[in-house]
Amino acid sequence: MRSYEAESEPGWDVVLPRDGLSLDGVRMAGFRERAAAGLDLRVLPQPAVVVVIGLGESPFSVAGARGHEELPSFAAALTPGPARIRAEGVECVEMRLSPRAAYALLGVSPRELDGSVTGLEGLWGRDERQLPERLTDAPAWQERLTLVDEFLAGRAARAPAMAPEVAAAWDTIVARRGRVRIGDLAAACGWSRKRLWSRFSAQIGLTPKRAAMLVRFDHAARALTAGENAADVALACGYVDQPHLHRDVLTFAGCTPTALAGRATSAG
């Protein structure tokens, strides 16, 4: 569970959908571990809900805000808190859902993920129990990815739509890389700051201010893990100064920029 940019990485087979996906805001890949080294991953906040459907025989061992759990499949909130995921013989389908897609597909508001890593069965119930069985029985990875795509399309057809004003506010935050004023967002959608705060928090799972912080942090984290200098990253990402970057990285990642630079991002 690494990057989607390449179709293979050392120790992993990575399969991308050949014909694209039916829904906007969804990225998907199939992963199979080849090296038998196991998975040991510290989860970082990112502007997407990560959903993993396990197909291997062993569950994922999740240590996080909810304590220690053994989960066959899971969803990680936008800001999952300190969380570490371990597993052996990993074979899974992983999806990254934009907040708009997550609102439609999870069956609950992203806010109800409670800032943690949550077992998928509690969200999808019987559907979650049946889907891994169908995926395991599928003869090829492309068929598996198609089955998941069809499953998500079926859920989306029955799902409530995110308020257009909330979706537009989120899109603006992403387009401006987190450099926005909340008052400007409210004015653009014709709402008061209080109403935007309430509706946005209910449907995205974060307040507008924290969502902007998360998007900016995500750009900074990617730059830091790519080896860029912290002072340059602070300037490029719109932080007032390097100590401001330091505080945000500590808030979201629980470590310093230097420590973050030495470890990979989740599903990055």
**CA 83/CA 78 separation, integer angstroms:** 12
Say what the pLDDT of residue 147 is: 95
Identify the band that residue 218 occupies on the pLDDT scale cut at 50, 70 and 90: very high
Stretch 165-190: mean pLDDT: 96
Identify the band that residue 264 occupies on the pLDDT scale cut at 50, 70 and 90: very low
Percent of the chain scoring above 90 in pLDDT:
69
Identify the band that residue 8 occupies on the pLDDT scale cut at 50, 70 and 90: low
Stretch 239-252: mean pLDDT: 94
Stretch 160-176: mean pLDDT: 95
**CA 150/CA 21 separation, integer angstroms:** 9
Residue 6 has pLDDT above 60, yes or no: no
**Alpha helices in the chain, H assignment, sequence order:** 99-105, 121-124, 126-137, 141-157, 164-175, 182-189, 193-204, 208-225, 230-236, 242-253, 257-261
Amino acid identity of 103? Answer: Y
Which of 29-43, 186-200, 252-266 is predicted least confidently? 252-266
* Average pLDDT in the chain: 89
Which has the higher per-residue pLDDT, 19 or 37? 19
| Six token digits for residue 48 | 């997407």
Percent of the chain scoring above 70 in pLDDT:
94
Cβ neighbours of residue 119 under 8 Å, at least 6 residues apart? 69, 71, 72, 73, 74
Which has the higher per-residue pLDDT, 218 or 19? 218
Q: Is 60 helix (H, G, I), strand (E, B) or coil?
A: strand
**Other CB atoms within 10 Å distance of the CB of residue 93:** 23
- pLDDT digits 0-9 by tens, 120-144: 888 887 777 789 989 999 989 999 9
| Six token digits for residue 220 | 């900074």
**CA 106/CA 127 separation, integer angstroms:** 12
Largest CA distance in the chain: 54
Say what the pLDDT of residue 65 is: 76
Q: Is 26 helix (H, G, I), strand (E, B) or coil?
A: strand
Which has the higher per-residue pLDDT, 82 or 14? 14
Residue 267 has pLDDT above 50, yes or no: no
Amino acid identity of 122? Answer: G
Residue 236 has pLDDT above 70, yes or no: yes
Q: Can you list the domains of the chain with their CATH numbers?
A: 8-157 (2.60.120.10), 164-261 (1.10.10.60)
**CA 160/CA 162 separation, integer angstroms:** 7
